[in-house]
Amino acid sequence: MSTIITSAPALAPASKEPGQGGGVDYLNHETSIASWLLTLDHKRIGILYLVAMSAMFVLGGFYAGLIRAELITPKGDLMSSDFYNKSFTAHGVIMVFFVLIPLVPASLGNFMLPLMIGAKDVAFPRLNLISWYVYMIGAGFTLVALIGGGVDTGWTFYTPLSTTYLNSNVLLTATGLFILGFSSILTGLNFIVTIHRMRCPGMDWFRMPLFVWALYATSVIQLLGTPVIAITLALVGVERLLGVGIFDPRLGGDPILYQHLFWFYSHPAVYIMILPPLGVTNELISTFSRKPIFGYSMMAGASLAIAIFSFIVWAHHMFTSGLSPYAAMFFSLLTFSVAIPSGIKVFTWLATLFRGSISFDSPMLYAYGFIGLFTIGGMTGLFLSTLGTDIHFHDTYFVVAHFHYVMVGGAIVGFMGGLHFIWPKMFGRMYPEFLARMSAILIFVGFNLTFFPQFLVGYLGMPRRYHEYPNEFQVLNVFSTAGATVLGVGYLLPLLYLPWSVFFGEKAGRNPWGATTLDWTHTESPPTPHNFEETPVVTGEPYKYDTLFNKESALAGH
Amino acid sequence: MQVTEKKHAQEAHDDHGHGHELAHHFVSVEQQHDAGNLGMWMFLTTEVLFFGGLFAAYTIYRYKFEKVFEQASNILDPMLGAINTIVLIFSSVTMAFAVRSAQQGKSKAIVAWLGATIVFGALFLGIKYGEWKHDAHLHVFPTSDFNWTWAREKHAEGEHGHGHDSHGPELKGFVFNSPVVPANYIESDSRNPEAKQAKLFFFLYFSMTSLHALHMIIGFGVMAVIMVYAWYGYYTPHYYVPVESVGLYWHFVDLVWIFLFPLLYLLGAHLGAGH
Ligand SMILES: [Cu+2]
């Protein structure tokens, strides 16, 4: 195999001119608003999702800011306890359902999946667009409920809070989430069929980039888990409207059943959030250390193993809910076992980095941050899956810190890395590298400053979801709020320089990172409307680096 | 990645004259067919889980309230359930013939067999409607209108030859009749914890059967559209994914009923009539 950079254009003569200076690409071949809103192009749909989710992220972040501002002082002086409850519910619902769950699959996944497997589009382009509209309709319902009246149950909607003691906005929110669920199901269905049926000739299962494996595992969870939460929310609505005691013990129902059904989806949902960023990180680590991923098949298998394990550990959220001790022991043990595939991933990354020509480009800075934060998040999960310690930590800030390390430190940081990696492919432009590195560092520092103190304050016993707290917790809370401010600045920078770069950034060229997957070697930046003018035929492994590609690797002496 | 390129299989577009047979992003009609087929199977997988939440709730409450669930199940008429099961199986057979006709390229036969499927489906829903109407008379709709004392009494009367429509003039409308049950019945229900448990059974009964009926009605809509296309010869032996997909869907809907029938209708059969 010759060098990618010289071979790729030679092999793809038909696609030499477009995209490079005035050619036809998917962004400029049609530019009307209607052409965006009615597009069936997976790349444009990915960007529609990106825009919508960025807006939701800003809104969810705004509520996070309110919470942190309230918690600077021990007294509840900024807002009423009721408004505080509504704020953390809004923060949780928006961030979990409208940002984290669709974040990587719907934006980066939509954009990259067909490019990575040599397809012209996903299997069902129209369904893909429909799922974006379903997302927007679900978001509309939910936002009206959250902003209009507010919901105070927390994002978990536990019964009887959501049935017996509720204000009616819970039903509107549940309707929104019910609708939203179909967006997730349709995306998962589309991706599974795409991966099974749309791979180009020669693209065996074990020649697929690892991001594709991660998307596959995620889609399986979306397909199997989401219908259960949909029917659960419908049951909450029915209990409320018809007065049937499905979850209300006074009417013969069982509130624990709600928790079982809720977590049967919502624990796997954690892996819907984290698996795709894990997959993106593979691409980053491999590309920026110029080495194939150590143990490709182990990594692919670990993604599937996590997807399977995710369905049999849900009751670890219910150790204090009156679960039988034998069931609790069983679920504790199963939960520990999730650490095995997660550990495999971390160690294969370390082994990949070892003796690689590693670089410090901004996407890779995010990837380094991701490894560290995901590891801390995962390890503290073990404290919570241990029965004895969970009794102490349950519903404290320790839990809050743990899942923010996984969801923000893991999922969001991984997403940011993936976004900075894919950006030149998306828009054909480079962003200001210095600002990007600044933002990666600010996010890492700000994040740790925000959430590490929460481990401590949780260990000391501060419960979550209260807007007042004893004086002795104030120092740690002030640290946390200060960190959140730094974190906010870190997120603000990309919101400014990324859109700027679309118009004023330096031209990227087809493969600025020297990556070796089809999306970089065989499509323009930005790609042409149908991605590949000629169907590629794959004959080898996904990660095979030309060590002469750039000066860093040349200097490393390979 | 080691890659060579071959000319994109543009020929596939040209082989078959009909533009609708191959969407631009597929390489071949086989790929398109497989994708459509797999997509339908995946969709049915989510459907299994969708019903699965209700089946899980059913299992738990059936286990907790065994006796009342059997008594409540006994209110339903197993004979009507059995007739409906047979009707649905016939509709599955006609659906299979519709798919077969599509494979053979017999457009008019697709229309005829789908029409027969809709007729059987409509017969099923007609019988179901009759059952629900009777259920409304018995006050077993799981609303505030529900009354277990009344339901058991009237059901026993019905079984002993007093006729099903002897409930007097107090009935208004189909489901949401206003408080018509005498106060002493309501009083009796409020002292009886089993009333709440029976209400749970009927909630599960109505939600599962109406979700099932909703799926059938959606199926009618899809079949109607396909019949129009088939009438104009849109489907060929190269391209009949929609017919095959609606077939899979319809068989799935039937299969759900095959599970619902014993769970809902036969649970209390051993108690005998009138209990
Ligand atoms: Cu969990």
Instruction: For residue A330, report the distance from its CA to the centre of ligand 1, in Å.
Output: 14
Residue A322 is assigned to a structural domain of this protein: yes
Structural domain contains residue A122: yes
Instruction: Give the per-residue pLDDT at A486.
Output: 96
**Residue A548: what pLDDT?**
54
Residue, of A30 and B181, whose pLDDT is higher: A30
Q: Is residue B125 part of a domain?
A: yes
User: CB B20: neighbour CB atoms within 10 A?
Assistant: 11
The stretch B205-214 carries a mean pLDDT of 92
Q: Is the peptide bond before A160 cis (omega within 30 degrees of 0)?
A: yes
Distance CA A152, CA A88 (A): 8
Hey, are the CB atoms on B39 and A193 less than 8 Å from each other?
yes
Position B23 scores a pLDDT of 79
- Between these two residues, A396 and B4, which has the higher pLDDT value? A396
Please report the pLDDT score of residue B34 as a whole number: 87
Residue B81 in any domain: the answer is: yes
Is B52 a member of any domain? no
Q: Which residue of B has its CA nearest to A208?
A: B1
pLDDT of residue A554: 35
| Residue among B34, B39, B203 whose CB faces A246 most closely | B203
Whether residue B26 is contained in a domain is answered as no
Q: How far is A124 from chain B (nearest CA, A)?
A: 8
Task: Please list the residues that pair with A463 across neighbouring strands.
Answer: A396
3-state SS, residue B190? helix
For the cut 70, the answer to whether the pLDDT of residue A12 exceeds it is no
In this structure, is residue A340 part of a structural domain? yes
Predicted confidence (pLDDT) at residue A251 exceeds the cutoff of 80: no
Answer whether the bond into residue A201 is a cis peptide, omega within 30°: no
In this prediction, residues A452-466 reach a mean pLDDT of 94
Predicted confidence at residue A223, as pLDDT, reads: 93
* CB A462 within 8 Å of CB A396: yes
Q: Tell me, in angstroms, the distance from the centre of ligand 1 to residue A87's CA.
A: 23
Q: Kindly report the CATH number assigned to the domain that includes residue A493.
A: 1.20.210.10
What's the angle, vertex CA A425, arms to CA A372 and CA A546, rounded to 5?
75
User: Which residues from chain A sit within 8 angstroms of residue B139, using beta carbons?
Assistant: none
Alpha helices in A94-209 (DSSP H): 101-102, 110-116, 125-143, 169-197
Domain CATH for B122:
1.20.120.80
Quick one: which of A454, A451, A437 has its CA closest to A490?
A437
pLDDT at B8: 41
Closest residue in A to B56 (Cα–Cα): A261
pLDDT tens column, A172-210: 899 999 999 999 999 999 999 999 999 999 999 999 999
Report the pLDDT value the prediction gives residue B31, as an integer from 0 to 100.
86
- A354-366 per-residue burial string, b: 16 or more CB within 10 A, e: under 16: eebbbbebbbbbb
As a whole number of angstroms, the distance between CA A213 and CA A211 comes to 5
Q: Residue B53: which of A125, A207, A228 has the nearest Cβ?
A: A228
Number of domains in chain B: 1
Give the number of domains in chain A.
Answer: 1
Range of the domain at A184: 39-556
Taking CA B88 as the corner, what is the angle to CA B85 and CA B94, rounded to the nearest 5 degrees?
145
Question: How much is the pLDDT for A545?
Answer: 78
CB B245 within 8 A of CB B42: no
With a cut of 60, say whether residue B76 has pLDDT above it.
yes
Write out chain B residues lying below 8 Å of A207, CB-based: 1
Is the pLDDT confidence value at B218 over 60?
yes
**What's the confidence (pLDDT) of residue A102?**
94
Burial pattern A173-209, b for ≥16 Cβ within 10 A else e, equals: bbbbbbbbbbbbbbbbbbbbbbbbbbbbebbeeebbb
Alpha-carbon gap: B61 to the closest alpha carbon of chain A (Å): 8
Question: Which of A111-120, A526-535, A549-558 tops mean pLDDT?
Answer: A111-120
Assess if residue A30 is contained within a domain: no
Least reliable range by pLDDT among A83-87, A363-367, A385-389, A507-511: A507-511
Residue A7 lies in a domain: no
In this structure, of A29-43, A121-135, A426-440, B184-198, the range with the lowest mean pLDDT score is: B184-198
Confidence grade of residue A112 (pLDDT, cut at 50, 70, 90): very high
Residue A318: Cβ within 10 Å count: 18
Chain A residue nearest residue B58, CA to CA: A246
More confident residue, A250 or B111: B111
Residues A72-83 have a mean pLDDT of 90
Which pLDDT tens digit goes with each residue over A481-496? 999 999 999 999 999 9
Does some domain include residue A2?
Answer: no
Measured in angstroms, the CA of B161 and the nearest CA of chain A are apart by 32
**pLDDT for residue A357:** 86
Instruction: Tell me the shortest Cα–Cα distance from A111 to chain B, in angstroms.
Output: 15
The arithmetic mean of pLDDT across residues A338-343, rounded, is 91
From the CA of A392, how far away is ligand 1's center (Å)?
17
Task: Kindly provide the residue ranges of all beta strands, DSSP E only, lying in A312-470, ordered along the sequence.
Answer: 429-430
Kindly indicate whether the ipTM for this predicted assembly is greater than 0.90, answering yes or no.
Answer: no
Closest to B102 in 3D by CA, of B222, B236, B224, B242: B236
pLDDT confidence bin for A386, thresholds 50/70/90: very high
Cα separation values, A345 from A103, A130, A304, A541, Å? 21, 34, 12, 19
Q: Find the residue in A nearest to B61 (Cα).
A: A253
Among chain B residues, the shortest Cα distance to A220 is held by: B42
Distance from Cα A315 to the centre of ligand 1, integer Å? 8
What is the structure's pLDDT at A550?
A: 53
Calculate how close chain A gets to B207, using CA atoms only, in Å.
Answer: 9
d(CA B1, CA B27): 22
Q: Which of A207, A535, A539 sits opposite B8 (nearest CB)?
A: A535
Higher pLDDT, A554 or A342: A342
Distance (angstroms) between ligand 1 centre and the Cα of A314 equals 5
Residue type, B113: W
User: How many cross-chain Cβ pairs, A to B, lie less than 8 Å apart?
Assistant: 154
| Chain centroid to CA B184 | 37
Which one of A238, A260, A537 has the shortest CB-CB distance to B6? Answer: A537
CA atoms of A258 and A53, how far apart (whole Å): 29
What is the pLDDT at residue B172?
47
Q: What is the mean pLDDT of chain A?
A: 89
pLDDT over 60 at A409, yes or no: yes
Least CB–CB distance from B1: residue in A189, A242, A518: A518
* Closest chain B C-alpha to A159 CA, distance in angstroms: 15
Judged by CB atoms closer than 8 Å, whether chains meet at B2 and A539 is answered as yes
- Tens of pLDDT, residue by residue over B6-48, are 444 333 334 444 456 677 888 888 888 888 889 999 999 999 9
Span B98-154, pLDDT tens digits: 999 999 989 999 999 999 999 999 999 999 998 888 887 788 887 777 888 888 887
- pTM, 2 dp: 0.88
* Higher-pLDDT residue of A255, A213: A213
Cα separation, B66 vs B62, whole angstroms: 5
Rounded-to-integer distance, Cα A15 and Cα A25, Å: 11
Contact B31 A253 (CB under 8 A): no
Mutate to test the interface with A, among B25, B30, B200 (most CBs of A within 10 A): B25
Identify which of B168, B48, B194, B262 has the alpha carbon closest to the alpha carbon of residue A223: B48
Give a yes or no: residue A159 inside a domain. Answer: yes
Partner-chain contact A192 B38, CB within 8 Å: yes
Closest residue in chain B to residue A264, using alpha carbons only: B53
Please indicate, yes or no, if residue B192 is contained in any of the structural domains. yes
Q: Which residues of B touch A536 (CB under 8 A)?
A: 3-5
Return the percent helix, strand and coil in chain A, to nearest 5.
70, 0, 30
Smallest CA–CA separation between A193 and chain B, in Å?
6
Give the tokens for residue A493: 């920078």
- For A208, phi and psi rounded to 5 degrees? -75, 145
Nearest neighbour of B142 by CB, restricted to A12, A242, A539? A242
- Burial readout A61-87 (b: 16 or more C-beta within 10 A, e: otherwise): bebbbbbbebbebeebeebeeeebbbb
Give percent of chain B above pLDDT 70.
82
Domain that holds residue B82: 60-265
